[in-house]
Amino acid sequence: MNLVASPYHLALDPYASAEGKPMPPLGPATLAARIRRAGHPVALWDATFQAGPSTFRQCLEGVRPSRVLLFADHHAIPAKMCLEAQTRAATEMVRLARAAGAEVAVAGPDASDRPAVYRDAGAHAVLRGEVDLPATRWAAGESLTSLPGTGAEPAPAMDLDDLPAPAWDLVDLREYARRWRARHGAWEAPVSAARGCPYRCNWCAKPIWGRTLKLRQPGAVVAEARDLAARGADRIWFTDDIFALKPSWLRKFREAVERAGGIPPYRCLARADLLREPAYADDLAATGCREVWIGAESGSDSVLERMDKDSTVEDIRESTRRAHERGIRIGWFLQLGYPGETLDDVRATRNLARAMAPDELGISVSYPLPGTPFHERVKAQLKETNWQTAMDNRLLFDAPHSQRFYDHSREVIRREHAVIQALASAGRIARGRAALADLRRLLAAPKHLARLPWEHLQMALAAT
């Protein structure tokens, strides 16, 4: 028996637990489907809702697998962040599988970055790069040492048109749906339309696909989204680093959506320089995009240049306008503390968020992931390698200012944004178009207003 195990534990990630948006393991479910399609028996263990790695022992006793692949889902943001708490859980699962007598391989972003950590825990091999083809050959009985991806070179990219539909029958989707609806009123499920990203942002880790891009056929993506709708999904989350990077693909996707009679509303990631184009924004809206996130990163062009972002502050402004004109909510990811960032740059970021009022903000300090040019630049300064949990926001390098400064700067931007959103909510309430979230924002506004003077003062004191 082959066992594909997803080692991410939500209980070990306080930020993600509080956020209440757990995603089922898309990569492991797709791999399990491929192994099963090839005629080999397979089981799937999803650790998401387990209290800790010790419960994996029960799975091993029940399944009695001869081969175990621990596969950290390369479509999931927590896996891409290579969090230390999850690494410890995964290495404990390796030890448990070895103790049960299984041959053990490990795959995913962290294993590709730090293979020695998993070999030291007892893994027989680390599969680097895409695992679909080598893992299927392993399930067929091939030796681990003969598989691509076990040596110095990662396994080659595969033909995405050969991907099967994920084996969602092996995952308890009902628990995901229950938790999403209890927290957010609707369940959002993942679909991948592409793999990879060709852009050169020097802080962005690309341990699986590198700077490549492969797109699936639009019709297959539509079919997968509609299948999840049939399974009860209310919304779709496109996991791609950049959704519809090629506008020509997006136009074909629009045609496929229209032929199929629609898909559930969706959320995705895009780039500001793409989204500012009217035709691109039109096609997103027409295909059901209701929320788009961009890596805005900074309100300073000089910082964006240092990041090799290949986009500008004007792109951020225009893309935000385009989204709002078409009724699409927009979220920004912001970074503070990138090398060379000045106090004026931080203020420019705060002022841009004030002026453009994105619907959502995700704010962190810069995080030097292994394998990136940014990490190489600050490697000599590092006392720790990775964050413990998602949005840990601890400085791991010698940033331009102190941890205290960035903690208070983040709070200033976050609370100012909350007040601006509360004012927008008040307008919707007055027009009779409010949702429950609008009432929550309005009720929370006095708390943010009361706290802001203190945060401004602490930010100023920490900057001196």
CATH code of the domain in which 15 resides = 3.40.50.280
Say if residue 116 is in the same domain as residue 232. no
| Token pair recorded at residue 386 | 């990775």
CATH number of residue 277's parent domain: 3.20.20.70
Q: Structural domain of residue 389, as residue ranges?
A: 186-400
Say if residue 222 is in the same domain as residue 126. no
* Residue 432 binned pLDDT confidence (cut-offs 50, 70, 90): confident
How far apart, in whole angstroms, are the C-alpha atoms of residue 118 and residue 89? Answer: 11
The answer to the question of residue 412 being in a domain is no
Residue 407: how many CB atoms within 10 A of its CB?
Answer: 18
State the pLDDT at residue 435.
Answer: 83
Mean pLDDT of 348-366: 98
| Token pair recorded at residue 311 | 């986009």
The answer to the question of residue 433 being in a domain is no
Angle at 399 between CA 397 and CA 400, to 5 degrees: 160
| Token pair recorded at residue 218 | 């639009």
Which tens digits make up the pLDDT trace of 41-82?
999 999 999 999 999 999 999 999 999 999 999 999 999 999
b/e per residue 446-464 (b: at least 16 CB within 10 A):
eebeeebeebbebbeebee
How far apart, in whole angstroms, are the C-alpha atoms of residue 408 and residue 415? Answer: 10
State the pLDDT at residue 152.
Answer: 74
Mean pLDDT of 205-226: 94
The answer to the question of residue 82 being in a domain is yes
* Residue 437 binned pLDDT confidence (cut-offs 50, 70, 90): confident
Mean pLDDT of 365-375: 95
**Bridge partner residues of 103 (DSSP):** 67
How far apart, in whole angstroms, are the C-alpha atoms of residue 464 and residue 460? Answer: 7
Percent of the chain topping pLDDT 70: 100
Which tens digits make up the pLDDT trace of 114-157?
999 999 999 999 999 899 999 999 999 999 989 999 987 888 88
Nearest in space to 132 (alpha carbons), one of 69, 186, 218, 76: 69
State the pLDDT at residue 280.
Answer: 98
Say if residue 144 is in the same domain as residue 191. no
Which tens digits make up the pLDDT trace of 242-260?
999 999 999 999 999 999 9
Say if residue 240 is in the same domain as residue 378. yes
State the pLDDT at residue 153.
Answer: 82
Q: Which residue has the tokens 């799975």?
A: 59
Say if residue 324 is in the same domain as residue 223. yes
Say if residue 321 is in the same domain as residue 192. yes
CA 220 to chain centre: 22
Say if residue 104 is in the same domain as residue 237. no
How far apart, in whole angstroms, are the C-alpha atoms of residue 107 and residue 90? Answer: 11
Tallying the residues shown for the chain, one arrives at 464
Domain end residue (candidates: 400, 427, 450): 400
How far apart, in whole angstroms, are the C-alpha atoms of residue 367 and residue 416? Answer: 24
Say if residue 315 is in the same domain as residue 354. yes
Say if residue 78 is in the same domain as residue 193. no
Nearest in space to 108 (alpha carbons), one of 118, 100, 98: 118
* Residue 31 binned pLDDT confidence (cut-offs 50, 70, 90): very high
pTM, two decimal places = 0.95
- Is the pLDDT at 434 greater than 80? The verdict is no
State the pLDDT at residue 32.
Answer: 98
Domain end residue (candidates: 349, 366, 400): 400
Show Cβ contacts of residue 252 under 8 Å, excluding neighbours closer than 6 positions: 218
State the pLDDT at residue 433.
Answer: 84
State the pLDDT at residue 158.
Answer: 82
Say if residue 34 is in the same domain as residue 113. yes
Q: How many domains does the chain have?
A: 2
Residue 185: how many CB atoms within 10 A of its CB?
Answer: 11
**CB 306 within 8 Å of CB 377:** no
State the pLDDT at residue 154.
Answer: 85
CA distances to 238, 407, 411 from 453, in Å: 39, 15, 11
Which tens digits make up the pLDDT trace of 15-25?
999 999 999 99
Mean pLDDT of 94-104: 98
- Is the pLDDT at 383 greater than 90? The verdict is no
Mean pLDDT of 203-212: 91
Say if residue 291 is in the same domain as residue 242. yes
How far apart, in whole angstroms, are the C-alpha atoms of residue 101 and residue 5? Answer: 16
Say if residue 249 is in the same domain as residue 128. no
Domain end residue (candidates: 400, 429, 453): 400
State the pLDDT at residue 337.
Answer: 97
Which tens digits make up the pLDDT trace of 142-197?
999 899 999 878 888 888 999 999 999 999 999 999 999 999 999 999 999 999 99
